[in-house]
Amino acid sequence: MKISDIFTCQKCGGHEIEEVVIGVTISSLVENVYDDGDIEYGPSENDGGEMDRYQCANCGKEIIDGMIGIKDVDQLYEYLMNLKNGKEN
Ligand SMILES: [Zn+2]
């Protein structure tokens, strides 16, 4: 089921959720240098990081289930299932 069919942000009415991970190390290949001072990067890799929160992709409001922020996928799943069931009832 599409998230946009069941989620509506209470602040802005948006329908997209994004996961925010903090403390990620990004390693990028440095590939080219140009005469005008530009440096061009190639592919990058992400390493580590810690899941911080889920938020509205439009306004950034953290998604709260009851009184607490959602901290992992299991909680997110439960939250979304409750939303879905709420729509059907
Ligand atoms: Zn929003």
Q: What is the pLDDT of residues 15-39, one digit of tens each?
A: 999 999 999 999 999 999 999 999 9
Return mean pLDDT, the chain: 94
Calculate how far, in angstroms, residue 4's C-alpha sits from the geometric centre of ligand 1: 12
| Cα gap 75→78, rounded to integer Å | 5
Cα-to-centroid distance, 37 and ligand 1 (Å): 39
- Is residue 20 included in any domain, yes or no? yes
Amino acid (1-letter code) at residue 73: V
Q: How far apart are the CA of 5 and the centre of ligand 1, in A?
A: 15
Asked if residue 71 has pLDDT above 90, the reply is no
Q: pTM of this prediction?
A: 0.77
Is 89 among the domain residues? no
CA–centroid distance, 89 to ligand 1, in Å, is: 24
For residue 66, name the pLDDT band (cuts at 50, 70, 90): confident
What range does the domain containing 76 cover? Answer: 3-84
Would you say residue 70 lies in a domain? Answer: yes
Strand pairing partners for 56?
17
Distance CA 10, CA 64 (A): 10
Taking 60 as the threshold, does the pLDDT of residue 89 lie above it?
Answer: no
87, 6 contact by CB (below 8 A) = yes
Residue 54 scores a pLDDT above 70: yes
Tell me which DSSP letter residue 15 carries: -
Residue 88 has pLDDT above 90, yes or no: no
User: What is the count of structural domains for the chain?
Assistant: 1
59 within a domain of the structure (yes/no): yes
